[in-house]
Structures are given as C-alpha cells and as structure tokens.
Structure 1
Amino acid sequence: MKLLDHTRESLLDYTVRQCAHVVPDGQEAAFRTIADAHLDEALERLHRCINGCAPWRPDQFNVLQSSQHCIYLYLLSNTIWKRSGETAAPTRLFLMNKAFNGIDLFYEIAMPEVFYIGHSVGIVLAKATYGNYLVLYQNSTVGRHKDQIPVIGDRVILYPNTAVIGRSVVESDCVVSQGTSVINRRTPAGQMVFRAADGGLAFSPRPDDLLQEYFRL
C-alpha cells in the first residue's frame, strides 16, 4: 500500500508526534517501540479496509483523510492490544482518536475487517457484535445496557443521529435512517428502518444498489 506523502518511518514519526501532543507524559520512546513493532500488521489491516471501500482510492493511505486516519488509529491500538496485551499505548491511541476525530472507539472493540466512516464526529460504539461492511455516520451510537448487547449484521448502514441500543438485533442488509433509534428491537433483514409517526419503527425494502456507493463487493 502506498503511504501518501509518507514513508513507513515518517508515518511512525508522525504518529509518535501526534501522541506526544495529545498525551504529553514523556513516554514517547516506549510508545514508539511498541507502535513500531505492530505498525506493519495494522497497515495490512488498513489496506484491506481501504481496498474494500469504494469512495477511497485502492492501495493508498492518506493520513490527512480524516476517516482513514481515524480507522488507522483504531487498528493500530487494537493490533497492539490483541498481540501484546499492553494497554498504555492503545489507551494513548484511543485518546488521540477522541481528540482528533471526535469518536469513542475503544481498542478492545472488535470491528469488522471492512467498515466505512462517513464522518467520525460524535460516533460512540460499545462492545457489541459488528458485521462486515458496516457504514457509520456522525452521531451514530451503538450502546449496550448492562448485559444487553446489540448485534449488527453484515452490510448495515447507520445514517447520522441513529442509535442501536440494548438487546437490539439489526439484521443484515438493513439501513437505519437518519434520526432513528432502535431500542430493544429486531429489524428484518434487507429493510430501510424509519421512525414511525407513533414513535415506533416502520420498514420498507432497501434499494438493491445502495451498497455500491460504499463498498467494492
């Protein structure tokens, strides 16, 4: 994968400098060491994600493209945590993502291999089940309630200001329309999900070609 305006080493330097700016605790050397050890795997994961997303140029990572930068910081944090069990560096990367991109995406959350972020600001994601080819827009929320954890299927789109909460199941190929909350409900597969006039949910078939806008399937 081509790193636009960066080499691998300059990307590492850039990431370390960003970390020092957000978390100025004097631990740059330790952070650099562990980030360096896991950077290649994180970039491989990012490469697969970028190549799966239709709006982005294949085989090219632009750190100044904010959604790609957001996914990069998450993947590096998650890779470090999964491979080493270390939490200090992943926590720093989590805080960086909050500061730079306005997203609450903890490093322990298992995101799918391919997901697309339209705008990251205000996205809050709990430790739920996320299917592949997920689309997220600003102010979308996935939240658990005690031991009730949402399940989101494959090829789901969460438009701005949506919420999936509690024991909800959003089945595959669903689109949750702007401003709609799914709370302790199951949505049928292949449906557009709307807020009904009575405050409940309404459904209509999802357009067949909608995902082509987002993914190379």
Structure 2
Amino acid sequence: MLNNEALATYVAQQTVNLLPDTVLARAQREIETHLPAALDRLHHLIKHVKMWTPGQFDHLHSTQYCTFLYLLSNEIFTQTGERELPTRLFLLNKAMNAIDLFYEIDMPPVFFIGHSAGIVLAKATYGNYLVLYQNSTVGKNHGHAPRIGEGVIVYPNSAIIGETEIGDHCVLGQGTSVINQKVPTRQFIFNGTGGQALIKPNKQAQLPLEEYFRV
C-alpha cells in the first residue's frame, strides 16, 4: 500500500501521462492537500463492502481505484470549486476504467461498483448502498433525472431513465430498462414483453444488498 505522498505522486504522474499539458508539481500539491479527506471517504466505503478488507486500499485493485479517483475528483471540486484538476481526474478514470462518473455527481457515502466498464451516470439522486454493474446507465430524459432509493442493485446492461423513481431495496435484473416509471419499495424488476418493465414484489426475508454490504 502506497503512503499518501507516494499515492499523490502516482496519481499525478498518471494524469501527466494521459494529458501531457498537466503540470506535475501543481497537480501533486493539490492532490496531496485533498488526499486525506478522499481516503477517509474511501475507507468508510471499504469498511461497508463485504468482499473488501476494512482498512486496506489497493491502488492496483481496479474497482477500488476507480472509486478512489471519483472520490478524489469530487473532493477537490466540492472543497475548492476548481474544475481543471477534477476534469483531468475524471478523464483519467474514464480512460482507465471505462466509466463516466463526473465529479459533480453526488454519489452516496456507500456504493459498490461490480465492474466499471460501460457505466454511465447522470446527475441524479442516488440512495445509499447502491450496487452498479457493467454497462448500467442512469440518464436524464427531457431534463428529468431519476431518483434511486436506498439499497438498489442494478445488474448489467440495465438502464434507469428520465422521471423514474426506484424505491428502496429494489433489484433490476440484467438488461432491464425503466423509463419514466415509479417503482415501489422491495421489487424485482425484469425485462418484460414489448420493452415494458415487469415488476414483481420481493418477498424474501433477506434483503439482496446483504450479500454486498456490512449494514
């Protein structure tokens, strides 16, 4: 595990390698300033993810590093309002992990990315204990953004679009699209006929999110 100084150098150098007009010393100084707060947020998240060991961050673990780059870019933007370095970190994350997760988006304190490739997230409302898998999309429609409740699991190739509300503890099956719909709490959502989402109550005593998180 890299110490803070080495980690700041590592991230800054990666940014320079991707975007050669980045000033290394300036990027490194700014990253070092905001790194402790970003790591605090990351370790809070790691503590709650069952498959990860609390207190351990591996910069070579692609999902952990993908999450870290978002948190760092968001922390810098939130604390300073500055956009240049957060934009560069966003582009680095996009190039390395194929995820479109902008630094202005307010992700919840605890979320889990199963595989980052192809994930595209709009500025929407995201509840805590969110699970996202590859090629999942949250998008606006005519200016309306979705609202996603707590403990929602989004399996691969699924989309939540427009004026949609997903209630707490819902599960979107693979390849499901929900567009301008309101889904109650504790539902399984499948791909029905004619492109319409098929919604069935989840009557299981154990919540699916308990597979992923220490809650």
TM range (shorter): over 0.9
Where 1:149 maps in the other structure, the secondary structure is coil
* Distance of 1:179 and 1:25 partners within structure 2: 40
1:72 and 2:65 equivalent? no
Q: 2:196 aligns with which of 154, 178, 200?
A: 200
Q: Which residue of 1 aligns with 2:172?
A: 176
In 2, the alpha carbon distance for the partners of 1:101 and 1:192 equals: 29
Task: Please name the residue that 1:55 is paired with.
Answer: 51
Quote the offset at 1:28 in angstroms: 1.2
Aligned pair 1:125/2:121, yes or no? yes
Distance change in 2, residues 1:106/1:26 (3 Å): closer
Contact 1:154 1:171 in 2 (8 A): yes
Is the Cα contact below 8 Å between 1:55 and 1:213 reproduced in 2? no
Q: Secondary structure, in 3 states, of the residue corresponding to 2:144?
A: coil
2:100 aligned with 1:104: yes
Which amino acid is 2:92 matched to? M
Number of aligned residue pairs = 213
- Distance in structure 2 (CA, Å) of the matches to 1:95 and 1:71: 14
Deviations 1:10-59 (A, max 9, x none): 11111111111111114112211211110000000001011111111111
Partner of residue 33, structure 2: 37
The match for 1:159 is 155
- After superposition, the Cα gap between the structure-2 partners of 1:141 and 1:70, relative to the gap in structure 1 and judged at 3 Å, is same
Q: What's the CA shift for 1:209?
A: 4.0
Contact 2:164–2:182 (8 Å) recurs in 1: yes
- 1:203: how far off? 2.0
Specify the code of the residue in structure 2 equivalent to 1:211: L
Alignment check: 8 A CA contact 1:159 1:176 kept: yes
- In the alignment, structure 1 segments of 5+ residues that lack a partner are none
| Aligned equivalents of 1:118, 1:181: Cα separation in 2 | 19
Deviation at 1:195, TM superposition (A): 1.3
CA distance in 1: counterparts of 2:195 and 2:130, whole angstroms: 26
> TM (normalized to structure 2)?
0.96
The residue type equivalent to 1:12 in the other structure is A
- The runs of at least 4 aligned residues of structure 1 exceeding 3 Å deviation read none
Question: Structure 1 counterpart of 2:105, which letter?
Answer: I
Residue in 2 aligned with 1:85?
Answer: 81
CA distance in 1, matches of 2:127, 2:58: 25
User: What TM-score do you get using the length of structure 1 for normalisation?
Assistant: 0.95
What do residues 58-80 of structure 1 show as CA deviations (whole Å, max 9, x unaligned)?
11101111110001000000000
Distance 1:8 1:86 in 2: 22
- Percent identity over the alignment is 51
Give the aligned partner of residue 7 of structure 2.
11
Gaps of 5+ in 2: none
